[in-house]
Amino acid sequence: MASSDISVIPYDGSLVAADLLAGSTTLVLSAFGAEQAGTLSDNDGFLENADDGTSTFDGQPVNYIGSGTAAGGLEILGLFVRIGPSVDVVVFEAGGQVYFHYPAGKPALSELLLNIDISPAPYQVFTPICFAADTRILTPSGERAVQELGAGDMVTDFHGEMHEIIWTGARALQLPRHPYFDKWRPVDLERDSLGEGRPYRRTRVSQQHRVMLGDWRVQLLTGLDEVLVPAVQLVNDTDIRINRSLTEVKYHHLMCDRHVVLIANGMPAESLFPGVVALEGISDAARDELLGLFPELAGGREPEKYKMALPVARGKEARACKAYLQASGSGGGLPHR
């Protein structure tokens, strides 16, 4: 059984599970308690309605409610006005208490309201975020295979700046045929699937590894010039597909002195972000190494000195980015270096 320390916020409001699942729902922040840490354990990789006790939180069986997106905001003339981007949210009950968990960080909560849009669809947990072996990473001296890089080596980011690698890790995974383990399967991005030369050859990353998109249509859809999108959100079953033919895969992690957008086979893609999500998809030995570098991760807190290199498009925003990629064909219109 896999386990991870996560941060949660207890919900003490009057709405029951059916109310929380009733489409777009606005909650008052006064209905939430103080953030706390706990241990989520799971033995099949999914939170779902029929868990039958296979998932627990601090030893209590989890009653999964749903997952989707959440955004903080305020009400103007009876309309909810979002403040900041939407983020992923997972809602579950354990020991008679409903909890909200934000896998990639909380939304902007400086305002009075929280708007959620969740569904009971199963939620995948403990997902790797990394490059597959043989991905070529741009460095000041040219491209090098990801597995050849180590702490102390330098890499070149999307903007041409150099960064030192402070940690590397790797994990070989067997890929059972059972659909519960589908989340471990990599996404294959074919040549030019995100624009000419992006990537310049088939590139394999884990499903939650984020790649960069950016042009006027991204700005129109998200209000941002550039965004990071999990590769799985861009799957179109043509030139971006989940690879279901492999029986094993080896993933490699690269962490720099800060979170950056690397160039991987010509494609802009993130380095590892040292957050609580990163701990879920790595080996126990690698987890111990990361906790040695960032002990605050053990308490469910992200390192204060680290910031996301770019905003992350999630939920409806990510689906909109996928739709424009399909409409324009092979990522046409993405910016070129």
Which carries the bigger pLDDT value, residue 48 or residue 249? 249
- C-alpha–C-alpha distance, residues 324 and 306, integer Å: 31
Confidence of residue 279 (pLDDT cuts 50, 70, 90): low
Note the pLDDT of residue 277.
Answer: 59
pTM of the complete model: 0.63
Q: Is the pLDDT of residue 177 over 80?
A: no
- H or E segment and range at residue 332: none
- C-alpha–C-alpha distance, residues 81 and 87, integer Å: 15
Confidence of residue 336 (pLDDT cuts 50, 70, 90): very low
Is the separation of the CB atoms in 197 and 189 below 8 Å? no
- C-alpha–C-alpha distance, residues 30 and 26, integer Å: 12
Q: What is the mean pLDDT of residues 165-194?
A: 84
Cross-strand bridge partners of residue 155: 163
Structure tokens at 22: 């009733």
Note the pLDDT of residue 223.
Answer: 78
DSSP 146: G
Structure tokens at 68: 């989707």
Q: What is the largest CA-CA distance in the chain?
A: 59
- C-alpha–C-alpha distance, residues 285 and 227, integer Å: 32
Tell me the pLDDT tens digit for each residue of 71-116. 888 877 777 777 777 888 999 999 999 999 987 678 876 557 888 9
CATH code that applies to domain 131-329: 2.170.16.10
Nearest to 11 by CA among 121, 84, 83, 89: 89
Q: Is the pLDDT of residue 205 over 70?
A: yes
- C-alpha–C-alpha distance, residues 10 and 36, integer Å: 8
Confidence of residue 332 (pLDDT cuts 50, 70, 90): very low
Q: Is the pLDDT of residue 37 over 70?
A: yes
Structure tokens at 67: 């997952």
Confidence of residue 337 (pLDDT cuts 50, 70, 90): very low
Domain with CATH 2.170.16.10 in the chain: 131-329
Note the pLDDT of residue 293.
Answer: 81
Nearest to 252 by CA among 324, 145, 161, 325: 145
Count of residues making up the chain = 337
